[in-house]
Amino acid sequence: MGYEVLLYIPNIVGYVRLVLLAISWTYFNKPEVFLPVYVSSVILDGIDGILARQLDQSSVFGAWVSFRNAGILCKFLCILQCIYIIPGYVRLVLLAISWTYFNRPEVFLPVYVSSVILDGIDGILARQLDQSSVFGAWLDVAIDLIGRGMLWCTLFNWGYFVIALEWLVFVGSHAQAGATWKVTPITAPWLVQKVMEKNFKTFLGTVVILGVHILPVWLYGIQHQALVPLLPTVVQQITVISLMLGRFLALYCELWYVMAHIDFLLQQDKGSASNKHSKD
């Protein structure tokens, strides 16, 4: 018994099951496709066993393929329960790599930008798979701050103050709202509400997001002369000014959130003091 075992009918059925698993994964969000394809793969699990006995084509390899398919089926479903969070862990790895190659723009920029792109992908996965969570929302923002903090603190001595303010906003907004931190309080100023409106999916929101995420990357490109071969100096400067406008608009919103959180803490202290006096 040699390589002909690979072409045994039951083993070919096993290969078909692998293809069906790949198809079901691709169409996971379309039940009309996923269910019949996935169930067909499960049914074939029994059929290949019957064929092996009827055709006298049982083999150790065939049993292994069948077992591996069953394992893949289980792991497939388990992974889908937490797949939305996997990009977050990948982003942490990419940040570590980009930090290691910080002084090599040809490595740093594509790796760091890939991490930023995954920031959008994990949100899409969470919504598509209906797997949004408080932890996922927290992890998403925390990774953003770790990445931008690395950039700001390494580029400029005063960069610490930029990221320190962002962390203060993160602590305040998540302490009060958690995963719904993007929902703006009705007490917020008009400009803050317009920036946060529709989860930043407005003109002002886009300007702020570009200023927060892209400005430090752009400044890195200028400092390491990575943009010189690509863009004229005038274009680089105009872009910096545009991104700075977005960052200053973000600064306005951040300062309001910090003051709002301080007011929230003071109100809690006031309430605690009132309760203490009433008990006395």
Is the pLDDT at 129 greater than 70? The verdict is: no
- The pLDDT value recorded for residue 81 is 46
Is the pLDDT at 243 greater than 80? The verdict is: yes
Take residue 31 and report the two structure tokens written for it. 């039940």
Highest mean pLDDT out of 51-65, 75-89, 151-165: 151-165
Mean pLDDT of 237-261: 94
**How high does pLDDT run on average in the chain?**
79
- The pLDDT value recorded for residue 80 is 47
Could you tell me what percent of the chain has a pLDDT over 70?
72
- The pLDDT value recorded for residue 272 is 67
Is the pLDDT at 67 greater than 50? The verdict is: no
- The pLDDT value recorded for residue 150 is 92
- The pLDDT value recorded for residue 61 is 47
Is the pLDDT at 261 greater than 90? The verdict is: no
Q: What is the dihedral of CA 31, 33, 39, 40, to 10 degrees?
A: 180
Q: Parse the chain into domains and list their residue ranges.
A: 3-80, 173-279
CA angle at 168 for the pair 198 and 238, rounded to the nearest 5°: 60
Q: Which one-letter DSSP state was computed for residue 169?
A: H
